[in-house]
Structures are given as structure tokens and as C-alpha cells.
A and B are shown apart, each in its own frame.
Chain A
Amino acid sequence: MPKVLKLSQGVQEGTKELLRFLLSEEKVKGIVTLKERSPQQGMGYSLITNPQELPNTRPLYPLMPSNAGKILSHLTLKGPSPQPLAVVAKPCEIRAFIELAKRAQGGVENILLISQTCPGVFPLQMSVNGGLKEKLSSYWKSAQKNEVFSEIRSTCKGCVDFIPQNADIVVSVAGSKDSEKECEIFLNTSKGESFVEGIKGSKAAEKEITNKQTQELLDKRKEGRKKMFDQVEAEKPEIEGLVQIFGRCIGCHGCSHVCPICYCDLCFFDSQQNEHLPQTFERYLDLRGGLRLPPDTVFYHLGRLMHTSISCVGCGMCSDVCPVDIPVSSIFTKVGEAVQKKFQYTPGKDIEEPVPSGTYKEEEFKEIGEQS
């Protein structure tokens, strides 16, 4: 059971207080967190080192301008940070980072992971086109009331992994009734405990992070998840169904660029490798009489499903950036859940657990039709 730290501010201020402590006491060299830059630049992840910048940070802001897992991967790809850094990120972002670390695309060494029980985030569009700020106060109220806010990302409405799995420190937000007045912080690991050593606040006894409230929220989210999955049920099987789902894709490949699990710098589908010879086009024409352009739309999405579904953390970035509103994230989450179940694998749960695509088990070597 994790130890609990209580700060006498509300969660927003409390979290900032925690960050201030980490920076001013030189527990960490810098902090990766959301920051309000300027009205033009909007909200985005920043790496700050000066405590005076803290007032502009919005650590718990309900927005995901890019998946922090991907950002952390870039920060640590060529080697671990020489000095400790803290990061405040949503649970799915942390899980994405763990998945990347498993694939040698970064490392958790020297990184303090801070997260929250997550009430969900708004679609990116709302931050760009305005309208988000007006909704904020009702968003926080609904979080206190343990409700699923109606305007958050549809993926978030169906997210059942809102409690962080791997964070060192977890701020209780979703379902925290008194979050205006007090800030409840779970110290999940001994690493987390050692970093807050010396902070002013009351240290309550140990406490489970899951409780009646989180269970209630989980039930609501499960309902949402079912709804989300039903909406993307294909009407027709096989290729026809796939065309129906992905048919309006314009081939911008935005979904792969924002996807934390799509870690290849140069995707096969963006490379010379995937440029066809004129004869190939000619053959396609011979076979089908015509060709949808750009070609290979379904192939692209299937390829992505093949390689990411096992590790899809359901962060929702892909749906958010899709210019033609394909519910990419709902589809990937749905397929991901099925694949992950098959391999009994939860992405981002345990950094020691190898990725199934990199492991072979003896029982998988059965011939087709052979009994296992």
C-alpha cells in the first residue's frame, strides 16, 4: 500500500507546490510539464528548470498537446539524463513511455514519474478553436463529483486505465471530493518517497489508491467503452468493412506521427521503400480497373494495427489529429484490447515484462491444427 502525503492546498496549487519543492530543494534539475506559453503559442509541454516559471505551468491541465511518452523518448533516446528530471504526465502517457523504454527508445533512469488519477482530457481542437477555458470550471466540478465530463475526448470516456500503473507519485484528481481544499498525493514507490523527503505537509497512513469512488468511475468508463466499441463495429466483414472504416483517409499519416507506439523515425510507408514502379500501378489497374489515390490506405492502417495494437495505450492522439474524423483511436483501442487479451499483456504495466512480439514461447510453436 502506498504512503499518502496531504498538502493543504487544492490539487492544482498542491501539485505546483510539490514541483516547487522538487526544484528549489534541487531534488531534480528540471521538470517536464504543461505550461501556458503565450496566447499565440498556447498550451504545451516544456522542460523548466527555474522555480519562478512555475506560476505559468498547468501540470494537471486537461489537454494532451502531444503524448508525453513520445517527448520523454526523444529526451532519453541517446542516453539517460545526466541529472534527475521530474515529469508530470497523464497515466496513458506514462504507459506509452514504458512501452517505448522496452523497445530501447528511451529509459526511465533518472526520471521521476508524476501522474494523476485522470478525469480525461479535452480534444485538441477545443484548445485551438477556443471554448476550452470556459468549460474548465465545470470540468473540475464534474471531476470532483466523479462524473465523466461530456466534452472530453471520446477515448477518455471509455478509458478504464485512469489510475497510473507505473508512476512514482500520483496526485488524486478524479473522484477526489475535496480537491479544491486539499491535495492528496500517493507515494507509489520508495523512489517517490525519497524525492519528497522534507516536504511540508501531513503524512497520513498508507492507503489504497483504489476505492469506492474509483470503482464507480471505472463502472461508468466501462459503459462508455462499450458504447465506443459499438460505434466502430464494422457493418461488413473483411476488406469491405475496412474500406468502410478507413475509406475517407487522406493518407496524411498524422496518426502515425503522433502515435507514441509508432516509434520509427522514418516509417516504411513514408519511405522510398513504399514507392511503386509504374508497372505495379499498371498491374493494379489491370486487376481492379481503377485505383483509389493515394494507394495502400487500408494496408497502411492494417500495418499500423499489426505493430501497435499489442502496445496501444489508448491515449487518443490519433483520433484528435485526424482531419477527416476517422475514429482511429476507438478502433485501435478495440483491436488493442483483443490482441492484448490474447497475449495476456497490459501495455505499460511492468517495464520488466518483455513485449510479446519479441518473445517466443514453446507452446506457440505448434503446427496449425496441432493441439496445444
Chain B
Amino acid sequence: MTKESSVLVYGTNLGGYRAAYGLCKKGHQVILLNRGSYVDEIRNQTLSQLPLDFCWMCGHFVQRKFKALGCVQDFYNSRLGEVSGEAGNFKVKFKTKPQTVNNFICTECDKCVEVCPVKVNGRKAIYIHPEIGWENIYLIDRENCTQCKKCEEVCPTGALKLDREEEEKEVNVGAIVLALEYNEPTDEELKDFGLGESPCVVKNSEIARNSLLTNFIQDSVQLPSRKIPENFSIIVTSHFNKSIKEYENYNLCVSAAYRGVKLKEILPQSNVTIFLKDYRGFGKKHFRWYQKALDAGVQVEKVDTLQVNPQKKEEVTIQYTKEGKNRNQSSELAILINGQKPPQTMDHLSKVCGVQSDEYGFCSTKPFSCCETNVDGIFGVGEFTGPKGNPETIWEGCGALTEITPYLGESNFKPSPPPSFRDIKGEGTKVGVFICNCFHTFEEKMDLNALKEAVNELPEVPHVEIIKGCCTPPTIKETAERIKQSGVNRVVLAVCTPIQKLLKFRKAVMMAGLNPLLSEFLRFREDVINVHKNKEEMLKKSLTLIKAGVAKVKKGSPEPTLKDKFTPQALVIGSGISGLTSSLEIAKRGFPVTLVEKGEAIQTKNKYFDDKQNQHLQELASEVENHSNITVYTNTTLKEMDGYAGNFSGTLLSGDKEIPVQAGVIVLATGAKEYKPEGFLYGEDRGVMTQTELQSGTEEKKAGNRVAMIQCVGSRNDRHPYCSRVCCNQALKNALNLKKQDKEVTIFYQDMTSYGKEDLYKEAQDAGVKFIRVKEKSYPEVKKKGNNLTVIAPGGEKKQFDTVVLSTGIVPDIQNNQNLSRILGHPLDKDGFFDSDVNVYPYEESIKRLFKPYEWATNCIYPVGLAHSPRSFEEALLTAKDVAGRAVILLGKKALPAPNAMYIAEVKESLCMGCGICVDVCPYSARTIDEQKKTAVVHPFLCDSCGTCVSACPNDASYLRDLKGDQTLASLDRLLIG
């Protein structure tokens, strides 16, 4: 039986979106089931936490793009039914009901709202969702709707149908991705924090939502009385919730820090206090955010218990205990940052497809996999399988891609090639203006005929006409035909909302046989109709906009779409668990891999791994060694590397021998080192050891009866201002083991950054492990007295021990990293790890960049595992699988168009002096200097057409193909002067 190629994605978490996106890119059709009635109705992790003060519309654009191309089918109001068959050949039944207003066909003309006779609370029974900024989502208030159907009659495109039938559908798919969304605690479960009882208690996500798309401004925190508060508390509820267990990912603590910083930015005089038990920001650069909050003057209170008591109208009291003492603090606004509950959908999914939950209620995944569930061919991604940070959620999307492909047949989707363009040489400039009446809705608001006549007067416009639309398949076709018939060779389309419909407009122009660089799209709805009432003004403004558009397209030039070849090979540097995993996953999909190891052999044993992990490593190593697609070079280093993303070529050095190497992508899996402790009598007294030495279990490293553990040795200090992520869990595990042997254990800590589903911290507390908090960035002193080791806490408290165990962190191999960084031109972060696309800011940058089309965010150089940042065994595996998925998408293409096809920057060589300022400022490393010609060169693969080079070039040698300097000046002239 041949395997199916399509994949079903159930749910709308970011991992699912990302998997859908990757699968589409790889050529697999995707069926996306949304349980909600519109795109964001069921809030996923990002939308529940909204730590960004920003929506992530780029995620949807990808979806819309593939939908337009025919690769994604999405269904709303859907519920997964019976799943039968097996991996590779599933038969899936589901129920679905189309949207009342089909968002893809709707032109947002607002007619339905205008004719609706029912008024409720200042809006109509059909209304626009107030919280979605990037497009209008029309919702129906079913309680108040009288079913008069006037809206249905008036809808010009038939997008609106009040009565929609639920349908049952059946599809055949090769695999299923479960991407169910975040479950937040209910208001009842947050009662201890006053939610719902006082207007001064709000969720962080609500604050963020208030400021969505406006940046964070003062009004976002306004109280009902319109007062801007001065005393803020930010509470991480998962640390104090007694009614339920809130699972916590690292977003919570860093969200608290981020919110604190933002509040201080907009209200510098305010008092902001963050309440939490421990600062658990263990993601890349998250400790820096904590420092940033402290530097901004945010107070951080690490307290034991906490509740919020509503007071008079606009005040609450935060009642908390700290160091055994009760305290109170009043606050005008308490901002809650809450964790997550296990997915409610788990029971249903267990029934219909047999996936099992783990002991905590999340979907369980197989060991050594990132998203395989207990059922072959069914995968769980994102918050559905446990609490995790946004980057991890997104990595799982491509990790899933890596794990899914073995179950799928040959790809079943290929977009149709773009139409060919007419040669317009020698024709002279003929501009056509096409004014959209939006299915006759614009005509009622402004005098389009008068506008048409006025445009007709313009000497440079031989053709003007009014069209019905250019955003539904029939109107796109019709417009294209009209452009063709008119014989013009440049087009101004006076339409609406290019940010959303740009691809459709371009398509119409291309279907007419014209290069889209010869067209301009105007926003009549936004710039004219929605902002003016007076018809005269409307006419004047629309004519000015058209004149500017005409001036711009007149100077456009029809440049070709650019493509570049792609070397279908990968180079992997480093042969630890991450390097081996990425090599093998890429090789298994048919691409040659060069694996370079500077040591004598590839890794088969790692002293930090447990037995099972080491066994996995060993199996992996032998598979790699025997794989025909993998060439392993040991005792080998990278000598030099030239080229650019997609086409690297360089030299390896093995002893004296130089080996040429080619690659399309480079995976950096160079690992990191354990911090070697200084002081604490380490190396001087045999009673002082590291956690790993303790774990080794040798006679020499046996713990005595009284054990002290010192946390954060080599982490979270001025030299290493980051959390090493793994040491707290390691210490807690070791402490629990020692407790089982009836030993006394005391842990000296700054913050216990334990994480994951199992609560080792609480277990250890319950088991009687003693915890003593020390001041930040300070360490206890260890002294030897007779047979005893004395540990003196920074406060002066002394205790006697037999053994002192140091929880040492992870440090980058600076010398090696710097060397590679120099050869590859790939930056290191401030801590000396390799920089990548998910670390600039905790949220916005990472999400935006990760969804960036074509994956060029890292220029085809992907740091994985410890080369990227400190992380655990499982997390390292995840990064390796994510990168393998990303690489496989690209390596399969022989050539790729520029990310923006023809919309890139170029260089006028006659004006270029090769000074390199554009190279320095290019955020995408898309530019180099041609050493022979001494002029700048643009790599179309990498250019994102942002225009930074244009503003930096002193001689106008840099230009954007669709927005050349003379085009801008000409259209500005028209806008400003007329």
C-alpha cells in the first residue's frame, strides 16, 4: 500500500503552525483543523500569555499564503472524530462547520454591519472582533441576532451565510499532528489573587492585549476610573497557587521581568514590584532580562506565600510571607502572570486516536523523540505535551517534520509556475489606472466616476477604468483580462489593504503578463474612505494618491525574478549527541553529510549522560559510522569557509592534509564545557566535588553523612551572567538520592531554577532537604577545620559538613567558538555561545524570525545543542531535530528564488566605491564586496528588501528594485505638491 502524503494538523498552537508551514514548503498538503470559528479564537500559548505586546501576524500570513497556493485546507469549528488505519494510511473523520463570514472571501466592506438593524451595547449584532488587529473578523452575536438575513442579502461576495450546516468529512492522511492549545487556570482557580473580585487585578495577557499593535503605552494600564496607577505588583501565580497546580514554562518569570522593564519605561516614576518564589528564567539571555529589570529600578520580592486582598475601590493589598514574617504591600494594579493546566482535550484524543497522557495529564511522548506519541504516525507538539518556552514550541514544529517524513509518501504538492511576462521594450510608457469599487460598495461613499474623469485628464494615463474587485478568484481573473485588453504596460490599482491582499494584486498583474515591478497598489479603503467624510476631500486625496502612484510606476523597470542554486549537502561540525542526531536525520532523507570531529573518534560515551542516554548515543554513533550518506572526518578541523547561505565551500584540515568541502547548510554542534570551579577548596580537599563527580559513584567521590550543595557555581555571576539551566535539576535529583540513603542534605541557593513537569523542588522539600538562600551573585565560603568542612553563608551563618558538592554550570568553549565564529562570519552572543534566531529578545524577535519565510534568519548556519546555549539532553535532541527539519526543507530544492523573488536590493556598479558601509549595516548579511571589482554584491537568497543599505549608501548606488530613489522622489513630489 502506498503511503499517503498529506498530513492533518489538529489545533492551532505555534508548533502545529510551524509543522504545517514546513510540510507545505517540503511539498506535502496539510489539512488544518481549527476548533474555533476564526483563526485565533482558541488561544494558544503565545496568545494566552501574550508576552509580546505584539501580535504575531506573520504566522498567519504563512498560512494564508499556502492556502492561496492550494497547499493548506483549513476548517473551522472542527472536531476530530474517528481515526482508523495506521501510520502512513490513516482515515480520519471530523466534523466541521464553515465560518459564518468566510474570512478568505470577505472584502471587509462593512455593508453587513451597516444594514444590521440590531444594536447591542454600542455595536450591532454583527460586529468586528475588537481585539484582532491585522484583519477584520466579523462575528455574529447569536443571542441578539434576529435572523432577518439583511446582511446576507447585502453581502457582495457571498462570504456571509447565517445558516451553515455542520458537515462530516473524511480524509486520508499519512500522519497526524496534535497541536492543541494552552489551557489557562480559570478565574475561580485564581481567586486567591483577587481576579474577578477587584478591577485592579488583571492578567498580563490582557494588559498586553490592550496595547496590541500600539506598542506599550500608558493607556494600556489605565484603571476603570481612567487613573494611571503608580504602584504596580507583578505576580507569578504559578509559584503561589494553592488551589491547583499551575505548570510553568520559562516565559512566566521572564514575562514578569519584561513587564517590569516596560512599565518603568513608560512610567519611570512608578513603583513596580515583582513577586515570585524564585526567578526561573533559564532560557537564552533570560537572566539578562532579570538584571535589566533590577537596573531599571524594579523591585523583586522573593516570597514564600502570597495572596491578594481587594481593598477599597481601586486598591489591593498583597499579603505575603517572607523569611517567616508576614508582610503587606498595597498596590493599585496587580498584574497576574499565570501558568498552564494539562490539556482538557486529552481524554477526547485518547478515545479517538489512542494517544496516552503522562502522569501529569499532558500527552506523553516517546523517549529520545521530540514529539512522537505512543501511536505510530501521531505526533504531539507544543504546549500539548508539556510546559515549554516559545522557542521550544516552535522548534518542535520542524522537529515534528523530521520525525513525520518517514511515514509519508512522495510529496503531493507543487505550486504552478508563475505566468510569463510580456516584453515591453520599445512600447513607451502607458500607465493604466484601475479603480476598485469593491463590489459597488465604494461607489456609495465617494464619486468614483468623477475620479475616473479626473484621472482621464492626466496626460500620462491613456487608460482608466473602474473594476469590481481584485481579491476573489473571479475578480482577479477579470481584472487581469481587462489590464491585458487595455494594452497598458504599467498599472496602478486603487484598491485596499495591500498588507493582506498584496499577493492577490500581484497575481492579477502577473496574469495580465506584466512584471509586478511595473505596478503600484493604493489603499483607498484605509487612506480615503475610512478617514474622510467630505466627498470633495475624498476626490482630492484619491486623485493625489493616484498621481503619486502613476509617478512611481512610470519609473519602474521590469527586472527578472532571481534564482540561485543550492548545494544539497550538509556540513556538521561536532559529533556529540546533537551533531550525530542532525547528521543522521539529514542523511536518512537522502542528503550527503560531512561530519567533522576534531577529536580522535566520534562520541560514544558521555560522562554527563545516564546509562540509557549513553546507550542511545552509542547506537546513534554506530548508525552514523555505517551510513552511506555520511562521511566522517575525525582529527579534523575547519580551516576556512567561503561562499554564503546555500552555497558554502571551504577546506577541512586533517593533520597536514587539506580536504575541500561543499555545503548548502552548516550545523554547528560543537558543544560546551563544564565550568571548572575555582575556590571552595575544590581540588584541595577530597570532600569537595562537583555534582557530576558525585554522580560517578566512585569510592573516592562518595558523599559523607552531612552534605552541602552550592548552586550556581560558575553561573549567574558577573563573568557568566546566564543560568546554566541543568544544574538545579541535577542537584535536586542527587539530593533526593542522598536522602534515600538517609543523609542530611543542605542546598545553598540563589534561586532554585528547577523546571519541567515533575516538581523535584517540592519533592526535595518534602523529603527534608534543607534550603538556605544566599544573596544573589554571592557564594558561601568553604573552610576546613579538622575533619569537618565548614560552610559559611554570606550572612555569616556557619554549618559543618562532611561533603560539599558544587553545582557547576555550563560554559562555552570560547577559544573554539571564537575561531569558528571568525571563519564562518557567524556571530557569538555576549556569553560566548553561538548566536541564533531565537535569542535577541525573549519573544517577539524569536517568533517573528522563526516564521520568517525561507528560514534565512540564520543564513543557513544553525547552532544546535550546547553550541547554542546550555540545555539538557532532551532539549539538545530537540534542537538537532528542528535543524534537521529546517535543513531538509531547503536541501531538497535545487534552486530557490529570492525570499521576495524580484523585490530585492541591487547595486548600481558605476556609482559604487566598495566602501562596505552597506555590508556593515545589512541585518541579513546579504551583502559582500567583490574584491576584484571593488563593488558591493547582493545575494538574492539573503536579501529581505528592508532598505537599510539604501539609506546607508552615500552615493545612491544601492536601491530597492521596487522603490528606487527616483521613484520615491517622484511620488513624494506628487504627494506633497500635487
In the assembled complex, the CB of A311 is this many whole angstroms from the nearest CB of chain B, namely 10
**Residues of A with C-beta under 8 A to B970:** 280
A243 at the interface (CB under 8 A from B): no
> Interface residue count for A (Cβ, 8 Å)?
26
**Residues of B with C-beta under 8 A to A283:** 973
B956 at the interface (CB under 8 A from A): yes
Give the contacting residue for B921; candidates A77, A105, A360; CB below 8 A. Answer: A360
In chain A, what residue has the closest Cβ to B951?
Answer: A357
Decide: B911 and A268 in contact? CB cutoff 8 A: yes
Decide: A103 and B916 in contact? CB cutoff 8 A: yes
Contact string against A for B residues 238-280, beta-carbon threshold 8 Å, 1 for contact and 0 otherwise: 0000000000000000000000000001001000000000000
Query: In the complex, A263 Cα to B953 Cα: how many Å?
Result: 12
Decide: B913 and A357 in contact? CB cutoff 8 A: no
Give the contacting residue for A105; candidates B265, B911, B913; CB below 8 A. Answer: B913
Query: In the complex, A355 Cα to B920 Cα: how many Å?
Result: 10
Decide: B952 and A367 in contact? CB cutoff 8 A: no
In chain B, what residue has the closest Cβ to A371?
Answer: B265
**Residues 36-58 of A contacting B (Cβ, < 8 Å):** none
Decide: B952 and A358 in contact? CB cutoff 8 A: yes
Give the contacting residue for B929; candidates A104, A267, A273, A306; CB below 8 A. Answer: A104
**Residues of B with C-beta under 8 A to A273:** 908, 911, 956, 966
Query: In the complex, A266 Cα to B956 Cα: how many Å?
Result: 11
Query: In the complex, A355 Cα to B913 Cα: how many Å?
Result: 16
**Residues of B with C-beta under 8 A to A205:** none
**Residues of A with C-beta under 8 A to B956:** 268, 273
B946 at the interface (CB under 8 A from A): no
Query: In the complex, A263 Cα to B915 Cα: how many Å?
Result: 9
Query: In the complex, A53 Cα to B51 Cα: how many Å?
Result: 74
B954 at the interface (CB under 8 A from A): yes
Query: In the complex, A354 Cα to B914 Cα: how many Å?
Result: 16
In chain B, what residue has the closest Cβ to A287?
Answer: B977
**Residues of B with C-beta under 8 A to A360:** 921
Decide: B913 and A307 in contact? CB cutoff 8 A: no
Give the contacting residue for A357; candidates B910, B952, B957, B973; CB below 8 A. Answer: B952
Query: In the complex, A105 Cα to B913 Cα: how many Å?
Result: 8
In the assembled complex, the CB of B799 is this many whole angstroms from the nearest CB of chain A, namely 45
Decide: B913 and A359 in contact? CB cutoff 8 A: no
In chain B, what residue has the closest Cβ to A261?
Answer: B954
Decide: A359 and B954 in contact? CB cutoff 8 A: no
Given the known interface contacts A268-B955, A273-B908, the answer about A103 and B917 at a Cβ–Cβ threshold of 8 Å is yes
A248 at the interface (CB under 8 A from B): no
Query: In the complex, A263 Cα to B913 Cα: how many Å?
Result: 8
> Interface residue count for B (Cβ, 8 Å)?
24
A271 at the interface (CB under 8 A from B): yes
In the assembled complex, the CB of A118 is this many whole angstroms from the nearest CB of chain B, namely 27
Contact string against A for B residues 940-978, beta-carbon threshold 8 Å, 1 for contact and 0 otherwise: 000000000000101111000000001000100100010
Residue pairs across A and B with CB atoms within 8 Å: the count is: 57
Given the known interface contacts A264-B955, A268-B955, the answer about A357 and B911 at a Cβ–Cβ threshold of 8 Å is no
**Residues of B with C-beta under 8 A to A287:** 977
In the assembled complex, the CB of A104 is this many whole angstroms from the nearest CB of chain B, namely 5
Decide: B954 and A104 in contact? CB cutoff 8 A: no
Query: In the complex, A360 Cα to B929 Cα: how many Å?
Result: 20
B686 at the interface (CB under 8 A from A): no
In chain A, what residue has the closest Cβ to B268?
Answer: A371
**Residues of B with C-beta under 8 A to A263:** 913, 915
**Counting chain A CB atoms within 10 Å of each CB, which of B268, B929, B966 scores highest?**
B966
In the assembled complex, the CB of A93 is this many whole angstroms from the nearest CB of chain B, namely 19
In chain A, what residue has the closest Cβ to B921?
Answer: A358
**Residues of A with C-beta under 8 A to B957:** 264, 268
A265 at the interface (CB under 8 A from B): yes
**Residues of B with C-beta under 8 A to A306:** 954
Decide: B920 and A264 in contact? CB cutoff 8 A: no
In chain B, what residue has the closest Cβ to A306?
Answer: B954
**Residues of B with C-beta under 8 A to A77:** 934
B215 at the interface (CB under 8 A from A): yes
Decide: B910 and A266 in contact? CB cutoff 8 A: yes
Query: In the complex, A267 Cα to B911 Cα: how many Å?
Result: 7
**Residues of B with C-beta under 8 A to A103:** 913, 915-917
A74 at the interface (CB under 8 A from B): no
Decide: B913 and A265 in contact? CB cutoff 8 A: yes
Decide: A271 and B911 in contact? CB cutoff 8 A: yes
In the assembled complex, the CB of A309 is this many whole angstroms from the nearest CB of chain B, namely 11
Q: Which 10 A-B pairs have the closest CB atoms?
A: A307-B954, A103-B915, A358-B920, A358-B917, A264-B955, A268-B956, A104-B916, A268-B955, A104-B915, A264-B913
Beyond A354-B920, A358-B917, list 19 extra A-B contacts (CB 8 Å).
A78-B934, A103-B913, A105-B913, A105-B915, A264-B911, A264-B955, A264-B957, A265-B913, A268-B911, A268-B955, A268-B957, A273-B956, A307-B955, A357-B954, A358-B916, A358-B920, A358-B921, A360-B921, A367-B215
27 example contacts (A-B, Cβ-Cβ < 8 A) are as follows A77-B934, A103-B915, A103-B916, A103-B917, A104-B916, A104-B934, A264-B911, A264-B913, A264-B954, A264-B955, A265-B913, A268-B955, A268-B957, A273-B908, A273-B956, A273-B966, A287-B977, A306-B954, A307-B955, A354-B920, A357-B952, A357-B954, A358-B917, A358-B920, A359-B920, A360-B921, A371-B265
